[in-house]
Each structure stands twice: as C-alpha cells, then as structure tokens.
Structure 1
Amino acid sequence: MAAVNTVSSLPCSKAGAAVAGGAPRPSTCSVFYPPRCWSKRSSGNGVRAQASTTETTAAPAAEVTTKVEKVSKKQVDGVVTNKYRPKEPYTGRCLLNTRITGDDAPGETWHMVFSTDGEIPYREGQSIGVIPDGIDKNGKPHKLRLYSIASSAIGDFADSKTVSLCVKRLVYTNDQGEIVKGVCSNFLCDLKPGSDVKITGPVGKEMLMPKDPNATIIMLGTGTGIAPFRSFLWKMFFEEHDDYKFNGLAWLFLGVPTSSTLLYREEFERMKEIAPERFRLDFAVSREQTNAAGEKMYIQTRMAEYKDELWELLKKDNTYVYMCGLKGMEKGIDDIMIDLAAKDGTVLVLLLISISIRFLITFFLALYTVCRHRLA
C-alpha cells in the first residue's frame, strides 16, 4: 500500500435548529467527456450489483464438472461495489456531526464522519447507502437512501477507516400546508457521536476520478453536490501518495443561494494557497451576486465570464467535466456549452452530445435519484 500523508481539516461546528425549505428537487451527478474522448465513457448502471457467477465445464477424459469463477470487470480495475447490501448492512458509528452552514442560511447542511474500520473500500466519486432507524407507515423498515461520499478514499482522518457525508436537512411544507421532514436526512443530521448507522455499498463507477494526473478537471456543483468534488480535491491537494501526484488543473464552480451556504469554503481557499497554479475556484451566489447585465449569478452565468478560456480547455483530449447537484442546472450548462461551441461551428455536435448526456444521466442514475430524493 502506498504511503500517504494528509492535512486534516474539518469544518467548524455551528449550532442551529431545523429550517423549513422548499419541496425537494431532483438532483443529478454526471461526468462529461469532450468530443474526442467521448468514447471513453464507461457503460452500465453503477448502482446495480454485478455479482460473480460460475459456469460448469465438462472434462473430456473424466466425466466431472469444474466450477470456473468469472472475474468481475469491476474487481479487475480495483473498484469495489455493493460489498454491503440492505439485508446485511455494515454497522458504523458516528464519530463527528457538525453543521457547516451559517445560522442565517436557508436550510441546514451537516458534515458527518462515520467509522468503517476499513471495511468499506470506496473510491473518490462513489456513494454509500444509509438505512435510517425505525419503520415506515406500513410497519416495514425504512429503505436506504444514497449519498455521495464527501471524503477521499483514506477518509478525513487519513487512516482509511472512516467515510464522510455532506447532508442537507430536508424540511418543507407540502401543498396541504403540512410540514414534511425527510426521513433519512433528518435521521442523519440528528445523529450524535457514538450512535450506530447502517451503511450499504459502496456503489457507482460513473463519477470516478480520471487516472491521468495531468488531466484538466472542471467541476460544476450546486449545494451538497459539492460532496464528490471535496473527495477529489482532498486527494489532489491535501494528501501525498507514492503512486499519485496531481499535476493538472482543477477548476471548481460552486453555485449556492447565499454566502452562508458556501460549503467547505475555508478548505478550498487553503487549497488555492497550496497550489495557486493548479486550482481555480469560482463561486456563484445567486441571491447576492449579479453579472454586468444585472442577471442573477448562477453557475452558467459565472462560466460565461470565462467562456473563451473554458472552450479552449474543453477542446483538449484530457479535459473532463463533472456535474453534481440540482437537476435543474443541466439546462443552463447545456446552453453555455452550446454557446461556447457556436463560434467554432460545432453547435450540432454539442447539441447531440447534450442530448446524449441527458439520456445517459436518466439511464445510469435513475435509481440514484429515486433513492435520494423521492424517498427522502
């Protein structure tokens, strides 16, 4: 195993009560490869299990059968999926749970760390499932909800024995005027250190980091969609690995409603100090910032300010674009991508890719969206 050093940095604890927000909106996580390397997109549904199977082969001389175990492609490349399932989850323990949004923020977001004793070998970009305690209205155990992992593979404590999540407490008023609380998000945000938590997974292969240490990685996130990007960035800038050293460019665009909801801001600013030439950071605070035309500052609005530079990066073979957050961000991102391509006469190509992105997101991550939001 490679020797690893890390800089530990956890968000400050902030107290607060539940804050009512809007009704839940669907979210998405996806990775986009530019036209030249689009064919490298991995296929298959990362949420579904790929179990090892056996086949029997008859020996010609003696009539005996031999079981030949097939090698899972997911194990060949070292990515473990579905080690723990809902019927036999891993029981971890809450080590830390702290609020990371300001007291005046429109909603609460919490950062939590669970012990795994090294039993959940996840990668940056994967997710885990959480099964909340208790039973539903039908008297059955609650179903699992999936959450993007917010820590690098070695965890916040650099011992490969923890996993971290970034969770927003879901509380909203429905059409009947009733206050609705998300089952799993409230269970997680209310956890006290020492409490047990049932974990499944890890799952997912679509959001894994590229292996190329010289790649350009553009990350587009909104709200708690920052989780997988925090895991990427910790590996890039807070850790030292014998077999990996990031020498490329990481560019993070983070969209939030208010400055009090800028998650992990101090960590990201430290990364800029550590690697100013390799890490760029741009916030889009929609309720507080506007562009030159007086329009609200969303991610696509901020990206438009760098459109020429972004387009040059997108034309490189080793540029990767990741999106994670509210599903509504896709339309704005599509528009800015097509706008960027227009001057080079490649609108049709980008339009087709845009349609492909929507299809792939729907196909590959349908279970993810259902588990995390419709069941929350």
Structure 2
Amino acid sequence: MSEVLEQHLIDPEICIRCNTCEATCPVGAITHDSRNYVVKADVCNHCMACVPPCPTGSIDNWRKVPTSRPYTVEEQLGWDELPAALSDADWAQHGEPADATSAAAQPSSPVASVSSSATTTSAATPSYNATLPPWSAAHAYTNLHGPKAPLKATVVGNVQVNEAGTENETHHIVLDFGVMPFPLLEGQSIGVVPPGVDASGKAHHARQYSIASPRNGERAAYNNASLTVKRVRAEEGHPPGVCSNYLCDLQVGDTVSVIGPFGSSFLMPNHPKSHIIMICTGTGSAPMRAMTEWRRRLRASGKFEGGRLMLFFGARTQQELPYFGPLQKLPKDFIDIHFAFSRTPGQPRRYVQDRMRERSADLAELLKDGQTHIYVCGLKAMEEGVLQALRDIAQGANLDWDAVGSQMQREGRLHLETY
C-alpha cells in the first residue's frame, strides 16, 4: 500500500517566470531552466513562504501522488500544463490506500488559505518583505486575462528615455487597451507574450514588466499604461532578450498580447500624510515613476495632503539613467531626489545605499514614523546593501532594526521587488 504525498507544483501556463518563488524559498526547493520553474519534491518542506509573494498564484498548486513516485524535476521542466489528478486506475497500480481515491479526486493545497504559520515563516526571513499591501491601498484586480486569452493592446508611444548611444538603452512604451477593462495600480505588473516560438518550437512564455504609469493612465483618463523596458543585448554567449528587443522595436500602431494584471501587495498608501521612500536602480524605476506621478497629480488637484517623498535612484552613469530630465523638473518641495552613479569617469563609485547613509538623519526620523512606507525595486544585488544601510541607520538612531523591520513588514509598509 502506497503512502500519499501532497506534492507542491507550479502551473507553467500562468507562471510569468518572475523568479519571486525561487528567491523567496528559504530551503532552495525551487529551480528553473529556460522554460519552467519547478519544485523539488525531496527538498520542499511545505513552509508556504513562497505562496503569498507569487503575483499570479501559479505557485499554489498541489497534487496527491504516491510518496514513492513524485513528479521529478525533469518531468516538471518538460510540462506545458499541470497534469490531471491521478485516476483510480493510477492509484490501483500503486496499491491505493483506503482514502487515496477520494483525496486525490480534487487537487488541493495542504493549507486552505495562507495560515499564521506561513506568515510567521515569511516574517522571519532576513528580507522583511511584506506580503500584505498598506491598509489604505486601493483594491487590486489580478489575473483578468491569462495566456489562453490574452488582451490585445495597441502601441501608442515608444521613446528612448535615457541618452541615445548608451549601452543600457531603455524605452518608455505606452500601450492602449481600447474598450477592454484592464484596471491597473501603481506597483502592479503585466505579462507581455512575445510572438513566435523558442528553440524547441514552443510558444514563448510571458515576460513580466512593472507598470510605469499611475492608475488613471499614462495620459490621464485614458485606458492606457506605460512600461519601462531595457533592451537586453547578446553578450558573453547569452542570446539577446526575446521580449525586451521585441518591445523596444515596436512601432506605433503595432499590437501586443498582454496578460494580467499581477500583484496585490507592492501597492502605495492612499491615506493623507503617508510618507513614501523609494529606492531603485535602472528599470526598477517603473513603479517609482508610477507612484510619483500619481502623487504629483493628486497634489495638482489640491485634494490630497501627501507626506514626504524621497527617491534614491541608482545607475551606472547619468546618461544611462531613465527619466533623468523629467525628474530634474519636479519641484524640490514635492520630492527629495538623490542619484547614485557607479561608473562616472573620474568620480568614486556611489551606490544607493551610500546616498541613503548621507541622509541617515532624515531616514531615521522617517523610520520612527508609523506612516512611512518603503519600496525597493531593481537588481537583486542591491537588496542586501539597502537592507544593511537601513539597519545601520536604525542602529545609529538607537532603534532596533529587527523590531522596526518586522513591524513594517507586518503592517505592509516595507516592500522589496528585486530580480
């Protein structure tokens, strides 16, 4: 008689390959290849830490299988969709236990909803990344359009937003959704499905891009949104980015297949006098631009009393930094901006954490304020340095960073989205 394993699986049809699950898993149970993200059955301990941060819900899938015959990593890497639950005949081959057939009839999760134990596990991780939105965040709609029925959007704008000729060419692309409802919030993302097939002849999977425009559109009161996309060129044996080059080469009038929206936690606060600290590099500026522009529009309307806005923005050089010109035009009494350039000729290397330490007094005061919300977005390599800077700043102000960071996480006030 076979014992039953509740095997944790990832749905390849709706997974957008954002790497959130692999980066979150505390035991290294998740791996991937060029096509799929999969769970190692012999490593996964069902801690559930990966479930809340997943933007699509693709991570929350389970199948009852014989303990002696779980789906292997190799099998999962070859899937285009999840397998059906094992049939009675399948179980009979393995010496079906008394309750296996009824238990296997419906795929289920070992935890019906995210339990307190899962929250505790996530809160104990060093990143302090919140899985809940701020209490005043707007309601986020998610998964309105999937890979089997993507929404067709029309390109209405495509311009380079850093200096021409720079190595990291970055574009601002505006998509119009016509009459189809596609509500988006600052901090959410969408998936773009590039046309064509990969080397194995299978359709390309969607790539995830953060929204760079506020909730009422790139053009206010229009059903459109913008993306910030860096062209990924071929280098050191790696092929060029399939989707980034596709997007950067789009012309006005072209159509694009999109899915989503995704994300329900990396959202901005909406209550008066709430403070926002934004820390980003490169295209991680997309959600920061969206949040800043929404606050700017609210301020212009005279109907919102905002708190402080601080932006720490890193790039290799001023020429490579997206949106440098428009950022320079924002009023100083509206937003406090600090650039960090790591490759300026003749200048010492500066990173966002260096600029944060220079403003330690201001940041320490904000850390003491329960209305402060922190957002970090950019390359994974920046995360450790940013968190260490926050720890140092807190300790310099006689604050217990572990207590402060944990409280901010529980209250949905500290969000990290790195890749």
Normalising to structure 1: TM-score of the pair? 0.70
The offset of 1:117, in angstroms, is 2.1
CA RMSD of aligned residues (A): 3.5
Match of 2:176 in 1: 115
Pair 1:244–1:91, CA change in 2 (3 A): farther
More deviation in 202-211 or 345-354? Answer: 345-354
Greater fraction of residues in strand: 1
The answer to whether the 8 Å contact 1:223/1:255 transfers is yes
Q: Deviations over 1:239-259 (max 9, x none)?
A: 568796242111111001011
Match of 1:129 in 2: 191
The answer to whether the 8 Å contact 1:247/1:278 transfers is no
1:58-137 equivalences under 5 Å are 78-117=139-178, 119-137=181-199
Match of 2:231 in 1: 169
Pair 1:80–1:244, CA change in 2 (3 A): farther
The offset of 1:103, in angstroms, is 2.6
The answer to whether the 8 Å contact 1:84/1:201 transfers is yes
The correspondence for 1:310, drawn from 335, 359, 363, is: 363
The offset of 1:78, in angstroms, is 3.0
> Which segments of 5 or more consecutive residues in structure 1 lack a partner in the other structure?
1-24, 31-42, 51-72, 370-376
Using the alignment, how far apart are the partners of 1:83 and 1:180 within structure 2?
Answer: 32
The answer to whether the 8 Å contact 1:248/1:278 transfers is no
The answer to whether the 8 Å contact 1:107/1:168 transfers is yes
The answer to whether the 8 Å contact 2:364/2:397 transfers is no
1:281 aligns to 2:334 (yes or no): no
SS in 2 for 1:282: strand
The offset of 1:348, in angstroms, is 6.0
How many equivalent pairs are there? 295
The answer to whether the 8 Å contact 1:81/1:204 transfers is yes
Using the alignment, how far apart are the partners of 2:365 and 2:138 within structure 1?
Answer: 31
> Which segments of 5 or more consecutive residues in structure 2 lack a partner in the other structure?
1-17, 24-50, 59-131
Using the alignment, how far apart are the partners of 1:278 and 1:242 within structure 2?
Answer: 14
- AA aligned to 1:223 is G
Q: Deviations over 1:345-365 (max 9, x none)?
A: 4456269749x89xxx99x97
Using the alignment, how far apart are the partners of 1:350 and 1:340 within structure 2?
Answer: 14
Match of 2:378 in 1: 325
SS in 2 for 1:259: coil
Pair 1:221–1:77, CA change in 2 (3 A): closer
Pair 1:262–1:104, CA change in 2 (3 A): same
The answer to whether the 8 Å contact 2:140/2:263 transfers is no
Using the alignment, how far apart are the partners of 1:49 and 1:330 within structure 2?
Answer: 24
Using the alignment, how far apart are the partners of 1:27 and 1:239 within structure 2?
Answer: 32
Report which of the two structures shows the higher radius of gyration computed on alpha carbons.
2
SS in 2 for 1:187: helix
The offset of 1:49, in angstroms, is 4.3
SS in 1 for 2:153: strand
Pair 1:27–1:117, CA change in 2 (3 A): same
The correspondence for 2:285, drawn from 191, 215, 226, is: 226
Using the alignment, how far apart are the partners of 2:297 and 2:271 within structure 1?
Answer: 18
The offset of 1:204, in angstroms, is 0.2
**Larger relative contact order (Cα-Cα within 8 Å, sequence gap ≥ 6):** 1
Pair 1:246–1:144, CA change in 2 (3 A): farther
The answer to whether the 8 Å contact 1:110/1:168 transfers is yes
The answer to whether the 8 Å contact 2:232/2:245 transfers is yes
Match of 1:188 in 2: 247
Report percent identity of matched pairs.
Answer: 33
The answer to whether the 8 Å contact 1:124/1:228 transfers is yes
Q: Deviations over 1:106-157 (max 9, x none)?
A: 2210110011125211111100000001111111111001100001111122
Match of 1:334 in 2: 387
More deviation in 189-198 or 240-249? Answer: 240-249
Match of 1:18 in 2: none
Normalising to structure 2: TM-score of the pair? 0.63
SS in 1 for 2:306: coil
Match of 1:70 in 2: none
